[in-house]
Amino acid sequence: MPFLRSPVSRSILVLSITQIIGWGALFMAISVTGEAMAVDLRLNSATIFLGPTLMLVVMAVCSPPIAELYRRYGARLVLAAGSLLAVPGLWILAVSGGPISYFIAWAIFGMAGAACLTTSAHVFLAELAGEGARRAIGAQMLFMALAPSLSWPATGFLEAQFGWRGVSVIYGCLMLFVCLPLHLFALPKTTIVEPAGDKPGSATVKPHGDHRRIVGLITAAIALNGFITWGFQLVVIDLFRSFDVADYLAVGFGSAIGVIQMSARLFDFLGGNRWSGLATGLVAALLMPLCLIVLVIGGGTEWSILLFLLLYGLSSGAMSVSRATLPLVFFTPADYAGVAARLGLPLNLAFAAAPPFFTYVLSTYGNRAALAVAFVSSLGTLASMLALQRQPQKPASVSA
């Protein structure tokens, strides 16, 4: 196949496979198996779903130290190590009998996820593709849009056949016998390029402008937007129900978001290098407050929900691409690993806090309060993106 002739294309395919398995095994499976886990472990649903929150918190804490591992060993070996570390976590989950072993498993998921999930995959593509990293990451993210569509049905089928414990054992085997070998042997070795500030004779540790200010603005923009999207991920169906929408319509509307998000990623990918991560993120930031205003003004009528879905899906899909590629607007591919790892701490903490926060606000204060919080967060994202526009970027001749 022509697509598989280049190392970058083969790596995109390999990472798409391993990322879908990894996210499915370590994070998405609980959406299907959570109810059975709660019954078997004699825990309530709220306690069960603290597992993913713990995972994201541990990922946040582990992300900054991993930057040094990227620099020393390269992202390929970090990906492989994370795949290996996931195995005991999944098998501990399979034999867990109570909250202690259950949360130990999720803590291991957090350590493994910091090494083998999204950030490491993007760092590897930055190492391999260099100035073509923006398009390579966009292509890999397009495939990742299929993760829920593949992992949820697969998990449901496996649970019906083997139970939730069997699902954990099987996913552990997939991490050990599929993801680990693919990371070690199917991904090409890359040359680890030292960041600009580490090269002998380098005049500055900053690629350009005020490094801290740029990283701070990127963090604010992505964290505030992610606070909305990760929070709505679990409550959007209940949000529609709160407007007296019938259950079957609320579920149908919620399911449509993924299709629109994938369309936004596809549109960005087909645009090639025409739009930078900054331009994509600015459009996404403009659409988010608009979709929230539409839902409030429309009062949850069908037309307002449909327009909300369109604008929200486009915004969240475009911002997911911008989140991965925005650092490449300001920093070189060699600096990408350090910046991405540094972003992991505040971003994962924001993502971890969002679902329980929005669940509490929606159930306690109602839909208007939840939408008001989201609207304020969306304005913060927009302000941060506008401020980033005024920051110095990489010279156009080397833009990714």
Q: Please say which residue of 188, 203, 235 terminates a domain.
A: 188
- In terms of domains, do 36 and 160 share one? yes
Residue 205 has pLDDT above 50, yes or no: no
- What's the confidence (pLDDT) of residue 2? 53
Give a yes or no: residue 200 inside a domain.
no
| d(C-alpha 141, C-alpha 321), whole Å | 7
- What's the confidence (pLDDT) of residue 76? 96
Burial of 293 (0-12, 13-18, 19+ CB in 10 A): middle
Q: Are 326 and 281 in contact (CB under 8 A)?
A: yes
Give a yes or no: residue 219 inside a domain.
yes
pLDDT digits (tens, 9 = 90+) for 79-134: 999 999 999 999 999 999 999 999 999 999 999 999 999 999 999 999 998 878 88
- What's the confidence (pLDDT) of residue 202? 41
- What's the confidence (pLDDT) of residue 208? 47
Rounded to two decimals, what is the model's pTM? 0.82
- What's the confidence (pLDDT) of residue 206? 44
Domains identified in the chain, total number: 2
| d(C-alpha 171, C-alpha 298), whole Å | 44
Give a yes or no: residue 195 inside a domain.
no
Distance of CA 10 to the CA centre of its chain: 22
- In terms of domains, do 175 and 259 share one? no
Nearest C-alpha neighbor of 139 from the set 155, 156, 122: 122
Give a yes or no: residue 284 inside a domain.
yes
Mean pLDDT of 143-163: 87
**Mean of the per-residue pLDDT values for the chain?**
87
Q: Are 82 and 52 in contact (CB under 8 A)?
A: no
Which residue matches tokens 């701490």? Answer: 345
pLDDT digits (tens, 9 = 90+) for 241-291: 888 887 777 777 776 777 787 777 777 776 655 677 888 899 999 999 999
- What's the confidence (pLDDT) of residue 106? 97
Residues 6+ away with beta carbon under 8 Å from 276: 134, 325, 329, 393, 399, 400
Reading the block at residue 313, the tokens are: 């899906």
Give a yes or no: residue 38 inside a domain.
yes
Residue 136 vs residue 172, higher pLDDT: 172
- In terms of domains, do 132 and 241 share one? no
- What's the confidence (pLDDT) of residue 395? 59
- Cα distances from 245 to residues 151, 236, 248, 369, in angstroms, run 28, 12, 8, 18
- In terms of domains, do 155 and 255 share one? no
- In terms of domains, do 280 and 339 share one? yes
Instruction: Report the sign of the C-alpha dihedral through residues 380, 324, 392, 400, in that order.
Output: negative
- In terms of domains, do 387 and 241 share one? yes
Range of the domain at 269: 211-392
Q: Please say which residue of 173, 188, 203 terminates a domain.
A: 188
Give a yes or no: residue 198 inside a domain.
no
- What's the confidence (pLDDT) of residue 210? 72
- In terms of domains, do 157 and 255 share one? no
- What's the confidence (pLDDT) of residue 82? 98
Give a yes or no: residue 398 inside a domain.
no
| d(C-alpha 144, C-alpha 131), whole Å | 22
Q: Please say which residue of 132, 153, 188 terminates a domain.
A: 188
Instruction: Report the sign of the C-alpha dihedral through residues 53, 13, 138, 142, in that order.
Output: negative
Residue 150 vs residue 206, higher pLDDT: 150
- In terms of domains, do 50 and 107 share one? yes
Mean pLDDT of 347-351: 90
- In terms of domains, do 146 and 248 share one? no
Residue 74 region by backbone torsions, left for phi larger than 0, else alpha for psi between -120 and 50, else beta: left
- In terms of domains, do 57 and 92 share one? yes
| d(C-alpha 222, C-alpha 224), whole Å | 6
Please write down the HEC assignment for all residues of the chain.
Answer: CHHHCCHHHHHHHHHHHHHHHHHHHHHHCHHHHHHHHHHHHCCCHHHHCHHHHHHHHHHHHHHHHHHHHHHHHCHHHHHHHHHHHHHHHHHHHHHCCCHHHHHHHHHHHHHHHHHHCHHHHHHHHHHHHHHHHHHHHHHHHHHHCCHHHHHHHHHHHHHHHHHHHHHHHHHHHHHHHHHHHHHHHHCCCCCCCCCHHHCCCCCCCCCCCCHHHHHHHHHHHHHHHHHHHHHHHHHHHHHHHCCCCCHHHHHHHHHHHHHHHHHHHHHHHHCCCCCCHHHHHHHHHHHHHHHHHHHHHHCCCHHHHHHHHHHHHHHHHHHHHHHHHCHHHHCCHHHHHHHHHHHHHHHHHHHHHHHHHHHHHHHHHCHHHHHHHHHHHHHHHHHHHHHHHCCCCCCHHHCC
Give a yes or no: residue 19 inside a domain.
yes
- In terms of domains, do 178 and 222 share one? no
- In terms of domains, do 245 and 358 share one? yes
Can you give the CATH number for the domain in which 243 is found?
A: 1.20.1250.20
